[in-house]
Structure 1
Amino acid sequence: MDPSYQRGPYTGLDWVQATHLYERVIASENEALQIRATVELGWLSEDVPESILAQMVPILVELLGRPLGDHQPSIQEAAAYCLNCFTRRGDGALCMHVGQSGAIPSILGLLPQSAGRFQRILAKCLRNIVSCDSLSRVILARNGGLEVILDVIASCSDDTRPYLLEILSALVMVREVRRVLVNLDGLSLLIESAGNGKMVSRTRAAHAIGLLGVTRRLRQKLVDLGVIPVLVGLLQDGDMLAKLTAGNALGIISSHVDYLRPVARAGAIPLFAELLEGPDPLGKEIAEDVFCILAVAEENAVLIAGHLVRVLQGGNDEAKAAAADVLWDLSGYKHSVSVVRESGAIPLLIGLLSCGNNDVREKAAGAVTQLSYNEADREDLVNAGAVPILLRLLHDESEEVKDNAAEALINFSEDPSLSDRISEVFDIPAFQNILDRLARIRASDEHMVRSLDRMNVEQFTEDPELA
């Protein structure tokens, strides 16, 4: 506020007495004194007990709602400054109290009428309020807040714009606001808010983008407006929550064949590999899902496989399991079979079959089994020493590992070019036991399918309306 107002020593004050003094000043007719006292209250707010400040909120809200006069700075600016100081306090309880005490409609009314410092103070205060309180967001939305914010953004100074974008990112957490934002052509501002401002605000915007991107029409509009590089930038520079949110949103954007290559060209694949190697389990899950989407494009699959091989060569068992799981999925893609083989992953997967980590063994065994359905890969698997390891896995403690090992060995045995090299597998009791169990499961499945078919036919013929 006014630099002529100098903060003095306020230690040892009787806050109750000071409150009564402030109330008497506000009740007076001296606007200059009211402004000075209100500004000093803002300065003091860092030291004043929160319970005392809460008592001051209704007074300040009333000052904020007064008609604008000619005095500069105005009492409204002083009240906004003071409330802005309040909303920066503590754990957010006072901020919520301000938002739910009637300040929001007054701030909305003043924003279009203000400029410069006054407008910036109003924007900061409103930003603080809606950032910490979901109910305040609803109050803002129901008072026409979105329309006002969009209009003010279009005409405000560069110094105020970041705060308004942060308000927008908080507002779009309300579902009804997202619908209106689309109708008002505000998506470009939402994308801008995902690329600028505080990390928590950028994360909120990315979350809203992910929610909107589920719809095909909006997904295309977001891409046309430049959302991909913005999300990739957040995936690269954000904190962990921002990376997870941006990664998830990129996964949603990628779920259309037209955007597989643009996402990869923007540099997303190495960043998802970092997420896969990172400490967060959700990050691994997101990276796995997005890799499986992006790998639908063959050139993406080549890049992804290269990063997965690097992960398999590392020392992180959780990351190895995640990488093997992706390779398991990629091995089922028609074009990716050769990609996995040419990446050099097969010897690494064979090595992981002897890993002490059960999850790693299961994922590697699944990938090996999937690869064993392809003739060229069967040859490479056998040459890499898969057979003796798979034979040992028939005695593994994991039923899934045992079943996958048996399935791969069956595929080898049915290959005329390999049957002689693994004929001894049929003499192993454990292998015969698994074969018998698999045969019973298949027979049970076939019986169930026949029963369901028969039941459907009987229901059809006995339907009285069709008789």
Structure 2
Amino acid sequence: MQLTQPPPSQPIDNKRRKRKGGGEGKSTPMTSPASSPAAGAAAPDDEGGESPSSPAESLDLILHHILPFLLGAALSARLLVGRWRLLHSKLSLLLSALADAAASSRWISNPLFRDHLLPSLRSTLRDLRTLSDRCLDPSLPGGKLRLQSDLDIAASALSLHLHDLHLLLRSGLLHRDASLASPADDSAAIVLPVPGPSASRAELALFFRDVFARLQIGALDLKGKALDSLLDILASDPAKLSRLVVEEGDIPSLLRLLDPSAHSLLRDRAAAAVALLATASDASRHAIFEEGALGPLLRLLDSGPAALKERAAVAIHAMTADHACAWAVSAYGGVSILLAACLSGSGSLAVQALAAGSLNNVAAIDDIRTAMVEEGAVPVLVDLLLSGNLEARKNAALCIGSLAAMGGAEIRAAILQESGLLRLLQFLREASDPEAIDHALKAISALSASPAAAKLLSSSPPFFIQLTDLIKRGSAGVQQTAATLVADLTPSEDIKRSMAESMPALVKMLEFSKPASAQSAAAGALTSLLAVRSNRRELSRDEKSVTRLVQMLDPRNEAVGKELPVAVVLALTASGSGGGARKRLAEAGACQHLQKLAEADIVPGVKKALQRITGSRLKNLFSISWPQ
């Protein structure tokens, strides 16, 4: 605290105390010599004589001389009484807290108290003693308004000292158990040594309390090194230590360093720490959101330096994975900020990708999807499909797919109007990354719910050629999406004929019991392709596929439901398919399995499938005892 020092006070005699006149000259003096706490004795002053030679002497001087004198002066004040009563209250709290600190034998080993708080407090109290002298001078050097302002500044300084002192007392750092200190622990270090991998929970808790105390009390270099230590230890085991930071640290004090008024070096390190906490664990991610991190992070993404934008984007992307945080993005005006971050030239490619991923998280919220489209999300995302890096393109495709799948017909129409389907098809053709293929194909599948999109896709032979390849060689998820598209779209017979080579892979998909949706997609695709006579002939010639299909009909095979393979058998034996399919199915043992299913009478279409295979011999088959 800096107070303007008035000219040295002159001796005050009784004649000056009885000075008459108007204005401020009529003010009643603060006290009289008879009632002053310092009457007949010199006021305590470590400047007039020899300064304290040690922290212990300094603390003793404050506790037993300076504070008692100021408390007495505050009570006997006759000028600006309200302000002095407030100061008396703060001085009383300060005396109590200092006495508590002095009761510990370890306060002198704490550099925050010894080297920072104690000297700063002495300076504030010296200034306050000077102010008490000015209140005794009827001439009021500097004027009454200036004196009021200086007293208010002194009260604010005392509040800061009380905050810092209470922080140290609550943290237990002034009373910490000496057994928690390692042999290498230097109590005079600017920060405590970072605990090693074998450190106990108590040692780690002490370290985090110390770090967060230094973030609030220390000077710039102290705060910077405390943040460095925090980043070092968090990086060693983020999942475990982030939870301890939440329990023992002071998250609001960290978030305050994200404010534009904070020093740039501190903002950068604080943003890195917040990003680590956002990605480390659910507990730390929830904690920073609950303490209000989203607003400052969005401001950094909007107008911060490039390095800070990337750190903020990392944290926002992780936080918006939680429904509550994703919903809150709109309340902070975050949709427009995220969209601006996706624009070409707005920042790094990494920021673009993370912003697009955050928008995809936000698109899961019903109330926000329409607002996203109204704010221009569709053209921005469609443009990002071609202009961004691979991660940005993947996230843009994912977000477009979310909007198309969970939004209404109007949102799908807006995507088509911006050539979103054509861009997705181009992205799918160019993609070699499995995840990119999956995201693009799912977005195309979501858009296919639009009649206009379905018509365009159904008339595209190159698209179905690619679907054929994906069914044969894609991941399980890609195979399922591709099969769903084949089942749902209405390509021509020529296009279906060109997909014949995908049928063995579809039969294999049908054979696996999980997930049931994949089985259903495979059966739907097979049923669609087997509507073409040449495809029925082609599949019946594939011995492995016919054997798999018959094995799925076996009632003893409980891993596979019977409705879907029966539906495929019906499609394979449809009218005009010739006798080859029926003959091969019968030779593979389909009849006995179908007869048992028909006797149970629980699977639709079984009797019809059996009749197609056996023809007029159906009645006789029921009397035959098939080998077990």
Question: TM-score scaled to structure 1, two decimals?
Answer: 0.68
Which amino acid is the alignment partner of residue 378 of structure 1? G
Q: Where does the alignment leave 5 or more consecutive residues of structure 2 unmatched?
A: 1-190, 554-559
2:291 counterpart of 1:101: yes
Which amino acid is the alignment partner of residue 468 of structure 2? I
- Asked whether the equivalents of residues 41 and 82 of structure 1 are also in contact (C-alpha less than 8 Å), the reply is yes
Change (3 A) 1:218 1:203: closer
Q: Which residue of 2 aligns with 1:223?
A: 420
Match of 2:261 among 64, 68, 74: 68
Which amino acid is the alignment partner of residue 252 of structure 1? A
Larger Rg: 2
Pairwise mapping of residues 143-222 of structure 1 onto structure 2 (< 5 A)? 143-154=332-343, 155-191=346-382, 192=384, 196-197=390-391, 204-205=398-399, 207-211=401-405, 215=409, 216-218=412-414, 220-221=416-417
Q: Which residue of 2 aligns with 1:119?
A: 309
- Asked whether the equivalents of residues 149 and 168 of structure 1 are also in contact (C-alpha less than 8 Å), the reply is yes
- Asked whether the equivalents of residues 279 and 285 of structure 2 are also in contact (C-alpha less than 8 Å), the reply is yes
Q: Distance in 2 between matches of 1:32 and 1:225?
A: 55
Change (3 A) 1:199 1:368: same
Q: Which residue of 2 aligns with 1:238?
A: 434
Give the superposition deviation at 1:42: 2.2
Q: Distance in 2 between matches of 1:29 and 1:324?
A: 69
- Asked whether the equivalents of residues 294 and 300 of structure 1 are also in contact (C-alpha less than 8 Å), the reply is no
Give the superposition deviation at 1:106: 1.2
Q: Which residue of 2 aligns with 1:42?
A: 231
SS at match of 2:317: helix
Change (3 A) 1:64 1:266: farther
Q: Distance in 2 between matches of 1:27 and 1:390?
A: 80
- Asked whether the equivalents of residues 213 and 219 of structure 1 are also in contact (C-alpha less than 8 Å), the reply is no
Q: Distance in 2 between matches of 1:265 and 1:405?
A: 30
Change (3 A) 1:362 1:257: same
Give the superposition deviation at 1:146: 0.7
Give the superposition deviation at 1:250: 3.0
Q: Distance in 2 between matches of 1:391 and 1:87?
A: 58
Give the superposition deviation at 1:142: 1.6
CA deviation string 1:311-355 (max 9, x = no partner): 65x799439987566333444xxxx4234246x123348944883
Which amino acid is the alignment partner of residue 99 of structure 1? F
Q: Distance in 2 between matches of 1:402 and 1:339?
A: 24
CA deviation string 1:46-84 (max 9, x = no partner): 35844541123111112223x436x442x3333212212
Q: Distance in 1 between matches of 2:463 and 2:606?
A: 37
Which amino acid is the alignment partner of residue 144 of structure 1? G
Which amino acid is the alignment partner of residue 77 of structure 1? D
Give the superposition deviation at 1:147: 0.7
Q: Where does the alignment leave 5 or more consecutive residues of structure 1 unmatched?
A: 1-6, 413-422, 433-467
Give the superposition deviation at 1:291: 1.7
SS at match of 1:58: helix
Q: Distance in 2 between matches of 1:305 and 1:357?
A: 21
Q: Distance in 1 between matches of 2:501 and 2:277?
A: 53
Q: Which residue of 2 aligns with 1:408?
A: 612
- Asked whether the equivalents of residues 22 and 37 of structure 1 are also in contact (C-alpha less than 8 Å), the reply is yes
- Asked whether the equivalents of residues 38 and 78 of structure 1 are also in contact (C-alpha less than 8 Å), the reply is yes
2:284 counterpart of 1:87: no
Q: Distance in 2 between matches of 1:39 and 1:32?
A: 11
Change (3 A) 1:43 1:381: closer
Q: Distance in 1 between matches of 2:308 and 2:621?
A: 84
Give the superposition deviation at 1:175: 2.6
Match of 2:323 among 105, 119, 134: 134
Change (3 A) 1:266 1:104: farther
Q: Which residue of 2 aligns with 1:346?
A: 540
Which amino acid is the alignment partner of residue 434 of structure 2? G
SS at match of 1:226: helix
Q: Distance in 2 between matches of 1:380 and 1:427?
A: 22
- Asked whether the equivalents of residues 394 and 440 of structure 2 are also in contact (C-alpha less than 8 Å), the reply is no
Q: Distance in 2 between matches of 1:363 and 1:260?
A: 24
Q: Which residue of 2 aligns with 1:369?
A: 570
- Asked whether the equivalents of residues 42 and 82 of structure 1 are also in contact (C-alpha less than 8 Å), the reply is yes
Match of 2:463 among 236, 250, 264: 264
Which amino acid is the alignment partner of residue 445 of structure 2? G
Task: State the aligned residue count.
Answer: 395
Change (3 A) 1:387 1:303: same
Give the superposition deviation at 1:200: 9.4
Q: Distance in 2 between matches of 1:9 and 1:29?
A: 17
Aligned-pair identity (%): 14
Q: Which residue of 1 aligns with 2:596?
A: 397
2:206 counterpart of 1:10: no
